[in-house]
Amino acid sequence: MSREVQTLYVAEDEHDIRLDRWFKRRWPHLTHIQVEKMARKGEIRVDGSRVKPQDRLTAGAAVRVPPLPEANPRKPGDLHELTERDIAYAKSLVLYEDHMVIALNKPHGLAVQGGTKTTKHVDRLLSAWGEGMDRPRLVHRLDRDTSGVLLLGKGPEAAKRLAGAFARRQAKKTYWAIVIGTPKPTHGQIDLALKKTGINDYEMMRPAEPKDPKGEPAETAFATISRAAHRASWMALRPFTGRTHQLRAHMAAIGHPILGDHKYGTDASKQLSGILKLQLHARRIELDHPGGGTLIVEAPLSPEIQAGFAHFGFTEDECDSDPFEGVKRQR
Q: What is the CATH number of the domain that holds 45?
A: 3.10.290.10
Between 322 and 229, the higher pLDDT residue:
229
Structure confidence at residue 223 (pLDDT): 97
Residue 156 near residue 137 (C-beta atoms within 8 A): yes
Domain boundary among 124, 150, 168: 168
Backbone angles phi, psi at 282, to 5 degrees: -75, 90
- The reply to whether 14 falls in a domain is yes
- The reply to whether 72 falls in a domain is no
Q: Are residues 303 and 197 in the same domain?
A: yes
Q: Are residues 235 and 303 in the same domain?
A: yes
Q: What is the CATH number of the domain that holds 105?
A: 3.30.2350.10
Structure confidence at residue 91 (pLDDT): 96
Structure confidence at residue 134 (pLDDT): 81
Structure confidence at residue 152 (pLDDT): 94
Q: Are residues 162 and 284 in the same domain?
A: no
Question: At CB < 8 A and 24+ separation, what contacts does 129-137 make?
Answer: 129/90, 129/102, 129/154, 131/3, 131/4, 132/3, 132/4, 136/102, 137/7, 137/8, 137/9
pTM: 0.80
What are 246-304's pLDDT values in tens digits?
Answer: 999 999 999 999 999 999 999 999 999 999 999 999 999 999 999 999 999 999 999 99
**Tally of residues, the chain:** 331
What are 149-179's pLDDT values in tens digits?
Answer: 999 999 888 888 898 888 888 899 999 999 9
What pairing do the DSSP bridges indicate for beta strands 147-153 and 280-288? Answer: parallel
Q: Give residue 11's pLDDT band: very low, low, confident or very high (50, 70, 90).
A: confident
What are 70-121's pLDDT values in tens digits?
Answer: 765 544 443 347 899 999 999 999 999 999 999 999 999 999 987 656 668 8
Q: Residue 134 belongs to what domain range?
A: 84-168
How far apart CA 193 and CA 301 sit, in angstroms, is 30
Structure confidence at residue 109 (pLDDT): 94
8-17 mean pLDDT? 84
Between 4 and 162, the higher pLDDT residue:
162
Structure confidence at residue 327 (pLDDT): 80
Q: Are residues 131 and 225 in the same domain?
A: no
Catalytic residues: 143
Q: Give residue 20's pLDDT band: very low, low, confident or very high (50, 70, 90).
A: very high
- Residue 21: C-alpha distances to residues 32, 36, 54, 123, 202 (Å): 9, 11, 9, 19, 17
Q: Are residues 176 and 163 in the same domain?
A: no
**What one-character-per-residue DSSP string does 33-54 give?**
HHHHHHHHTT-SEETTEE--TT
Structure confidence at residue 76 (pLDDT): 45
209 Cβ contact list (under 8 Å, min separation 6):
215
> Can you tell me whether residue 284 is helix, strand or coil?
strand
- The reply to whether 323 falls in a domain is no
- Per-residue buried b or exposed e for 261-295, using 16+ beta carbons within 10 Å of the residue's own CB: bebbbeeebeebbeebbbbbbbbbbebebbeeeeb
Structure confidence at residue 30 (pLDDT): 84
- The reply to whether 205 falls in a domain is yes
